[in-house]
Amino acid sequence: MEFFKLRSGGRMPALGYGTFLATGIELEKSLNIALETGYRCFDTAVGYNNESIIGKVLNEWISAGKVTREELFVITKKMEEQVVNGRTKSIGLSNFNIKQIQRILDNCKIRPDSLQNENHLYFQAPEVVQFCKINDIVLISYSSLGMKSFRELMAISWNNKQLPEMLENDVLVKVAKKHGKTPAQALLRFINQNGMSVIPKSTTPERIVENFQIFDFKLDTKDMDALRNLDEGEGGRIVRFTMIKKFDAVGDEGLDVEFDELE
């Protein structure tokens, strides 16, 4: 496992396990597979309605002596008071643009250590990546693999663009083949090598393992340049501010409300 150092101390695994749209017994089984595979970082949020399941499984692993709490890195969405009262070690932001991050940096009592934003092949946001580097903020890419099931569920596509399905993109497939890896592994590695942590979500046992095997190869400059060329800027964005109305329509399942910080 590789790690990113946090400016307030500690370190964040460069790979974690995403849990958006995963609940119930399927998530419980998947978390056990993820822990057995070696994942030690887990991403959740109140709006995912799955924190209690994650808490239950992690507690079982701790009680059984298979992991310690110190080995685990849990990302959820909380505030400054949680650091002050000792409930969390570090705080971060999510779905913030540069202007919004700067406003926080100018006004906060506790500096954010991390930023969790959409970032993938078609939406690479190099300015945000650079801004985070300069300001010592670890960037966590979400929807690194293109959020296929969510796009299908919500009947949405890229932002006004007709783009090939991300994991079927010819250039990505070629780079992956060159290294004897799958497109998902090559894409996660690409994002890692661009300086970001990744938190792919999967409830498919083989993919949970596949997504973990990304530290045994390295993309070269040619690969990195070819993949950087696939950035579509705003046209490649999937998650948009206007989606909030759609989330309301989902009702009791209560999809994530963090999106309201976009733009």
Ligand X SMILES: NC(=O)c1ccc[n+]([C@@H]2O[C@H](COP(=O)([O-])OP(=O)(O)OC[C@H]3O[C@@H](n4cnc5c(N)ncnc54)[C@H](OP(=O)(O)O)[C@@H]3O)[C@@H](O)[C@H]2O)c1
Chain residues that interact with ligand X, rule: CB under 6 A: 18-20, 43, 94-95, 116, 142-150, 167, 184, 199-204, 207, 210-211, 256, 258-259
Nearer to ligand X, 113 or 256 (CB): 256
Q: Could you give the maximum distance between any two Cα atoms of the chain, in Å?
A: 50
d(CA 193, CA 178): 17
One-letter identity of residue 98: I
Q: What is the DSSP letter of 194?
A: T
Quote the least distance from Cβ 188 to ligand X, whole Å: 8
Helices (H), the chain: 24-37, 51-63, 80-84, 98-107, 126-134, 148-153, 170-178, 183-193, 205-212, 221-228, 244-250
Q: What is the DSSP letter of 233?
A: G
Nearer to ligand X, 61 or 123 (CB): 123
**Residue closest to ligand X, measured at CB:** 18
Quote the least distance from Cβ 121 to ligand X, whole Å: 10
Quote the least distance from Cβ 83 to ligand X, whole Å: 19
Nearer to ligand X, 57 or 199 (CB): 199
Nearer to ligand X, 90 or 143 (CB): 143
Quote the least distance from Cβ 65 to ligand X, whole Å: 27
